[in-house]
Structure formats: structure tokens, C-alpha cells
Structure 1
Amino acid sequence: MTLLRSARFPAVVLLIAAALGLIVANSAWGPAVDHAMHSYLGIPGVFELSLSHWIKDGLLAVFFFVVAVELQYELTSGQLNSARKALQPAIAAAGGVLVPIVIYLVMAAGSDAASGWPIPTATDIAFALGVLAVFGKGLPAALRVFLLALAILDDIVGIVFIAVLFTSGVDVAALAGAAVAVIAFGLLSRQLDTRARVPVAVVLVLLALTTWVLVYRSGVHATIAGVVLGLAMAQRPALRVRHELEPWVNGIVLPVFAFSAALVPIPAVPLSQLSPAFWGVVVALPLGKIAGISVLGWIALRMGRREGTPPLAFADLLAAGALGGIGFTVSLLLSELAFADDAPLRDQATLGVLAGSVISLLLAAGLVSWRAWHHRRRTTTAPVTS
């Protein structure tokens, strides 16, 4: 369990799971696995989903719950608990969202792939922090704080995109029922520190499941249920639950999703014939993130020093931008949603996410290693004052 709570190991597991999914999809087992992913499970005539949907809509809701708990903490007690603290990473995050969108739309203009513009806006916080932990020994703590705030703000944008862009035909009654269940969940979670915590915990689980079913029935993407439950839960018990769920999310939820999302056959066509859904993501993830985050981050950091932290060098921001280009988990989900009715485009966008994230990972490893070496050398050569 300790390994699965670390920053490094889960990133490695996630990468292996995605690689395995890509290998399986392009092997003799590919058709059989694809058929299994589209097999329906549940209560016949009452509530059934394909295995693929159970993973994307069910398991991933647990991941979004954990993200929302961390978001709630950062907004109330952490790095984003004041407008002054949040302003500078928010500006950098805006650059890391807008520049990739512009690049993608320019490359996809006039094609059916244009609707995939949200895909390159995400940052995979687990991967980014994993690369930082592996290659960033000696980096200033301010860079990790900046990256964490940036990635959390990116998560907010991704959640908003999922909730707003990929919702249609809303069932108001189901959504109202979900709202009531969330309110009850939030109020009851305040009782988890009492002697009746076991029955309270059982009721909370039932309320969470009810919320998920109602959100799914409402037409809103079911992962949003995890978000609202994480934000509604009382902070102390929420942090404890997050701590307990973290190894399961890192060891099962995310690898299973990465494997299923990467089950994509590689098109047997020349690179020149791949659609803008592929090329737009491949270019926008690494280059768009680096340009947007570093340039707007540099401008933001010169608008005023952050509370208690020294300004970061532009080269440090280049490293943060490269880390931000590792889209992976949320980008894979966005590609599934953006091209839900167009399997060929969805597969090419997924390949674009995998390729763009790997390019960003390699760039980030190089830039982070360079900046870590620079900071270590500066520390060892600094004059000693008496």
C-alpha cells in the first residue's frame, strides 16, 4: 500500500497499463477483448451498462471523488485558499488551457475533428507529480506548489467541460433527486466522528450510490457524481476516506481505465493520412501547454510575488509547462466523450493523447532533470555566510 501512495510508482503502473492496452488491442486477442468490453452487466431490465461504461462512468467516479476532496482542501485550507495565492497559477492554467485549444482548432479547422478541442486542455496530476518526484530532486518547493495548484485548476476546467459540454437531454427530476441525495450525504457526513459512525458510513455509501445512479439517469456524465460528493463531504472525514481510497484508485481504478481507454487499434495508414484529431492533440498537448503555461506563468509571476514563495525562473516554468502536457487520464476521458459517436476519430484522438503525453513526459523528464541539476549546483556552490 505504501508504494501505491507514493508519487512515483502509480505513474509507472499507469504507463504500463496503457501500453498493455495498446499491445492487446493490436494483437490476436484484440477482437475478443473488445467484445468483452462491450458486454452488458447489471440487473437485466432494470440497470445495465457495458463493461466499458462501468469503467468510465462507475470506477472513474471514485477517482473524481478523490480529486474533489483534494480540491476542497486546497480551496479551503491549502494552496488556493486566497485570491492572492490562486491568481498566479490560475493565469498560468488559463494559458495552459487556451493555447492548446487555439492550436488544436487551427489544425482541425473545417474538419469533423474540430469538436475535440477540449481534449488537450487536461493535466494528469498523478503523472506530473510522479515525473517530478523521479527527476526533480533539488528543485525548489515553490515549483511543486505551483504545479500542484496548476494541475488542480486544470482539473476544475476538465470537470466543467465534462459537466457542461457533454450533457444533453437533462432529466430534471433525476437531477433534483441527486441534489437531495448530495445534501443528505453532506449533512450526514458530519456525523462520522460520532459513536454511530458504522451505521452512518453504511447510509453514506447507499446515498453515494443513489446519487451516482440518479446523476447517470439525469443525462449528466456520471463522474460528476463523484465530484459533487467529494465537495459536499465534511473535510476531516473526507480526507480520511481519500487516504483509504488512494491506493485503490492508484492501483486499480486508474490502471483499469488506462488499459480500457488504450484498447485502440493503430490505423494501418501513413502518418500523413491521420486525421487532425490525432495531429491536433499530439501538437497541442506538449507545445500548447509549454507555451501557454510558461509565458502566462512568467507574466503572472512578475505581477507580484506569491505569498511566502520566491519567484520562479522562466526555465522552471518551461519544466512546469512540459509536466502540464502530460494529459493522460482526463484527456483520455475527454476524447471518449468528444467523439462518442465516431469511433475512428475517437481512436485517433486516443492515440494522439497517448503520443502527446509520452512526448510531454520525455520533454518534462529532460527539463526537470536539467533544472534540478541547476538548482543543486547553485546550492552546493553558494557561499557560506557566518
Structure 2
Amino acid sequence: MLRAFLRTEAGSTSVLLVATALALLWANSPWGGTYEAFWHTSMGISFGGAEFSLDLRHWVNDGLMTVFFFLIGLEVSYEVRLGQLRDRRLIAVPAVAAFGGMLVPAGVYLLLNYGGPGAGGWGVPIATDTAFVLGLLAVVGARCPDPLRAFLLTLAIVDDVLAIIIIAIFYTDELSVTALITAAVLLAAIMTLRWLKIWRAPAYIVLGFALWVATLESGIHPTLIGIALGVLVFVYAPTDHKLLLAGEAVQEFTSEPSARAAREAALRVQRAVSVNERLQLRLHPWSSYVIVPVFALANAGVQLDGETLRAAVTSPVAIGVALGLLLGKFAGISLGTWLPLRLGWGVLPGNLVWGQLLGGAAVSGIGFTVALFIVDLAFAGSDLHAPAKIGILAGSLLSAGMGWLIFRLAWDRGGVCAPPEAEPAEDLPTTLAVPVGPGDHVRGPADARVTLVEYGDFECPYCGRLHPILEEVLRKNPDVRLVFRHFPLRTLHPRANAAAIVAEAAADRGRFWEMHDILYDNQRFLTDADLEHYAAELDVDPWSDVSRHAARIAVDETSGRDSGVRGTPTLFVNGVRYEGGHDLDSITRAVEESRESA
């Protein structure tokens, strides 16, 4: 689910960029006057004497964007019940970071605009644009990308929820009590259908549209209803019973293909997956490739002539928005990440160092979709529209540039996981301090001409990528042996030490390498329950002698530090530190050279 979401959002970034560029070109072309005229074209429906009409921009901002926020509600519901938000310790850090990433930008903006005509725009720099952030991460190729993207996705979910609450509370002008009561009744009807487990799509579509109209008429922004309805959609993990029924239906179709069997198999398989996940799969492409780009096309167009730009350079609104996104987001998210880690409120998802977190904090200053959305609410009918939009564009571009520099110049470590404080000022040893001995874990012949010693961490993604490469080296070179020594990076990988202990428990039963392979094949699943499951498969008691196994791991760590190991994976070829690339060709060449010299 998470990988599919990331691929969709990152892939839509180019479409969103094109839509933004088209909006700017249109607004600044010789036909620029048609831009506002087109989006102010009225469109509606009438029945008898009743009429409901909005201009095109409001149909986009109030209508289509409700689907966008509906998807956010679906994602929140899924993550809370089945995803990463189930683990409170994993939620705490990005949640506090999201709060800091909203509070500080708003403060920066108000420092420049408090008491002025633009004070109401304090909400503009508070939101992060997930699609642009994930798209930029794909371009810069940030190290340890999956955990960083998971961290930023969790942060973005909390950020979006807080932004919706702020819109509902602070950007609602007038309330219609009659429409509000009608909306409450319709929402209660939808909840009743859910409680009765009536899953008829037409009923939900009719009630949902009526609820949207009632909410719009009430004065509350209808996007709040979008996220509320998304949260209400039922989500569940596939039960064994439903999986069994689906399997039987597929087997029946396989043995006796027919239209009836195909329909039954399709229905059974579909019912095994929750409505929430099915809706996400269907609506994400429409939201990412149609709705959000159309929103950008309708809202990003701003005239960038000399007069407008000169006014923006001195405008407290434009400066406040740009600095809020560039400096406020960076400072707020960085502080919001450091504080819960310092106080022990939570943990990171793993594989992250401060350079990556700072880069993520910087690119989170890319505010676009929700920022433009709030501009329309805060400055409706005001001449502050243009400066605010220019501030969004400037702040977002500067934030993207700062994040790119942090990733490329400060923290690109060439495929090795290492904490920033692990880089010493002195020259490191280049030879193995402790020779291979009887206590080592060895795979390969005892009389091998070439010995590879790997200092590894079972949670390190680079070690995971190196694992099949080393297996291929051993397969192609019968005179090579591999020695594995533990070097868990506890500050980066919270599950690495527990995994190492379980591997040592397996070694007591002569099954170290079997456990070694299982752990690398399942790096994303290293909770205590997961480790106990792997141990049960090998008939191993994982926690039989933790203190002795921890001492054994400490011996490996000491020998690694004495050998100059500061990150993982670190390889030694016949006792000499290997400095080449971690690819098959490079390691094979190093083995051949060592074989010749031996």
C-alpha cells in the first residue's frame, strides 16, 4: 500500500509541474485576461425554480478538491487501523515534527504581518505538498529512501489533518444553522448505513453529494466533509475465511473456466480486500493525475510582470510566505523531530541520520496545493492574492533547492549507513585488527584463497542489497569464503541488535547462516514477534541466553571499531579494507586481484 501510494504521488509530480507552468504561461501570455475570465465562468444545475451554481474555480476548489481530501481521509483511516500509525512510538516523532512545521512558519509569517492587512494569511505557509516533496526525493535519490519517505508521508498525513482543522476553524466566515443541521442529519444517515453494514454505492453517492451541498451552504468548507467521509470508509485486514473463499473460487475457475466461475472468483477476491483499499486504488490516479493538476491550473496563474514582481519583493505577505516555507518549515520540523527524540517520546522508522532528516525538513517547505487553497480562502476578493502566490512559488523553489543541496553535498555517503558523529577526524586503520578465528561465522571452505570479512547490520538497507551480491560471488568463486561479523548501528536501526541476538541464538544450534539469510530477506519485518516467528521456523529459542549473545556481538563490534569500521557494510578482502563499489563487478575484480597476490 505505502509503495503504491509513493509511486503514484511521485509519478504525478511531472504532471503537476506541467499544469503549474501552463497556468503561469496562460496568465502571462497575450491572452492573460482570459485566464480569470474562464475560471469565473458560472456553471450549475437547476430543477424547476431551484438552482445551484458556482463558478469553475469554486467547482474545482470546493468540489474536486473534496475528492482529494476524501483520499487523505482514506489514507488516515488505513494507516491508523492497519498501517504505520498503529505504532504510537512511530507516530510521535513525525506528529510533533508536523506540529512544529506548522507553528513556526505561522509565527514567521505573523512576525512580518501581525496587525496588517495580510495577517489573515498566516495559514498559507503551514502546509506541505506531498506530491512535490516525494517527487523531489525521487529526483535527488536520497540515501535510505524508504524510511525517509515513510517518515515524511506520516508527517504529511498529520500535516494535512491539522490543515483541514485550521481551515474549518479559522477560515469559515458565516454559519447557516439550518444547513448545518441538515448536514448533521445526512452525516448521521451515512453513519447509520455503515453501522447496519449496508454497502450500496448509490446510497452513499446520493447522501454524500447532498451532504457536500449542505456543508457548502452551511459556511463550513466542504473539504472537511471529504476527510470525514474518508475516515468513515470501512477498512480491515483480509480474514482467513475470506482468503480461503477467494482461493477456492480461483481454484474452481482454474479447473473449470467459465463466465460464471470468473465472475464468482472476481467477486470473492474483491471482497477479501477492504472498500478503503479498493477506493484508494481507483481514485489515487484520478486525484494525482487529474484533480490536483486541474487545481494547479485553476489557481497557480499569477501575473509576473515587472510591476507585480517589484511589489512582491517589498510585500510583507510575499516575504512572510516565502520565509515561512523556507526557514519556518525547516526550523519547525527539525526542532519538532529533535524534541521527541531527545525526550524519548518516540523512535524513527529506522535507517535515518540527521542529514537525511534535515534534507527532508528542507524539502517539506514545498507548499503548493493546500497553500494555494488557503490563499483563495484568506484573500478572497483582495489584491493580496498575487503577492501570496508569488511567495508560495518563491518559497517552494528555494526550499527545493536547499533540500537538494543538503542531500547532494552534505549527506551523500556512497551507499554506507553511518551516523554523522561516526566520521572521525583521524586516519582510520585499513587492515583487519582481529584475524579470522574459530569463533567467527564462516561460509565457504576453510582453505579458501580469498577471505571476505563483512561487518554488517541486519536492518541496514545497503547490507541487504549487498547480501545477494556476496552470495553470487561465493557461487562463482569456490575458493572464496565469507565471514560475517556483527556491527549493529543502534542509533540508526532500532531492530538491528535484537536481530543479531536471534542470529546468535540460531548459531548455538548450528543454523546461523539460515537465520542470516532469513533476516536479510525480511529486513522490513524485524519486530520481536517477527523474530520469534523466524526462530520458531528453525526450532530456535530466540531469547535463551541474551546476555551471552550480546557479549558475543560486542566482541565483533570492538574488533570492527579497532579495524576502523564506522558504518555498514564494511568489507575486508584478505584482511585489507575494501574501498570499491558494492556491486558484483567491483567486488569480483577485488577478489581476483587478491587471489593473484595471494
Per the normalisation by structure 2, the TM-score is 0.59
Q: What SS does the corresponding residue of 2:172 show, helix, strand or coil?
A: coil
| Contact 2:90–2:348 (CA under 8 A) maintained in structure 1 | no
Alignment-mate amino acid for residue 296 of structure 2: A
Alignment-mate amino acid for residue 6 of structure 1: T
Q: What SS does the corresponding residue of 1:264 show, helix, strand or coil?
A: coil
| Contact 1:105–1:280 (CA under 8 A) maintained in structure 2 | yes
Q: Summarize the alignment of residues 183-332 of structure 1 with structure 2, pairs less than 5 Å apart.
A: 183-189=188-194, 200-235=200-235, 236-266=274-304, 268-269=306-307, 270=310, 274-304=314-344, 306=346, 309-310=349-350, 312-332=352-372
Aligned to 1:32: 34
Q: Which one of 14, 21, 24 corresponds to residue 19 of structure 1? A: 21
Aligned to 1:358: 397
Q: What SS does the corresponding residue of 1:263 show, helix, strand or coil?
A: coil
Q: CA RMSD in A?
A: 2.6
Q: Summarize the alignment of residues 50-65 of structure 1 with structure 2, pairs less than 5 Å apart.
A: 50-65=55-70
| Contact 1:281–1:349 (CA under 8 A) maintained in structure 2 | yes
- Rate the CA distance shift 1:297–1:49 in 2: closer, same or farther, 3 A: same
Q: What SS does the corresponding residue of 2:296 show, helix, strand or coil?
A: helix
Aligned to 2:594: none
Alignment-mate amino acid for residue 368 of structure 1: F
* Runs ≥4 residues deviating over 6 A: none
What CA deviation, in whole Å up to 9, does each residue of 1:29-87 have, x standing for no partner? 21123111111101255100001110110011010000111011222222222443322
Structure number with higher helix proportion: 1
Q: Which one of 140, 145, 154 corresponds to residue 150 of structure 2? A: 145
Provide the rounded CA distance (Å) in 1 between the counterparts of 2:333 and 2:357: 7
Aligned to 2:43: 41
5+ unaligned residues in a row in structure 2: which ranges?
236-273, 418-461, 467-567, 573-598
C-alpha displacement of 1:180 = 2.5
What CA deviation, in whole Å up to 9, does each residue of 1:84-106 have, x standing for no partner? 33222122112111111111111
Provide the rounded CA distance (Å) in 1 between the counterparts of 2:89 and 2:416: 32
Q: What SS does the corresponding residue of 1:168 show, helix, strand or coil?
A: coil
- Rate the CA distance shift 1:139–1:308 in 2: closer, same or farther, 3 A: closer
C-alpha displacement of 1:140 = 5.0
C-alpha displacement of 1:189 = 4.9
Q: What SS does the corresponding residue of 2:208 show, helix, strand or coil?
A: helix
C-alpha displacement of 1:242 = 1.7
Provide the rounded CA distance (Å) in 2 between the counterparts of 1:223 and 1:7: 20
Per the normalisation by structure 1, the TM-score is 0.90
- Rate the CA distance shift 1:179–1:375 in 2: closer, same or farther, 3 A: farther
Provide the rounded CA distance (Å) in 2 between the counterparts of 1:273 and 1:109: 18
C-alpha displacement of 1:384 = 4.5
Q: Count residues in correspondence.
A: 379
| Contact 2:104–2:328 (CA under 8 A) maintained in structure 1 | yes
Q: What SS does the corresponding residue of 1:376 show, helix, strand or coil?
A: coil
Higher-Rg structure is 2
Pairing 1:382–2:387 present: no
Provide the rounded CA distance (Å) in 2 between the counterparts of 1:66 and 1:164: 21
Alignment-mate amino acid for residue 403 of structure 2: A
- Rate the CA distance shift 1:119–1:212 in 2: closer, same or farther, 3 A: same
Provide the rounded CA distance (Å) in 2 between the counterparts of 1:255 and 1:272: 25
Pairing 1:111–2:116 present: yes
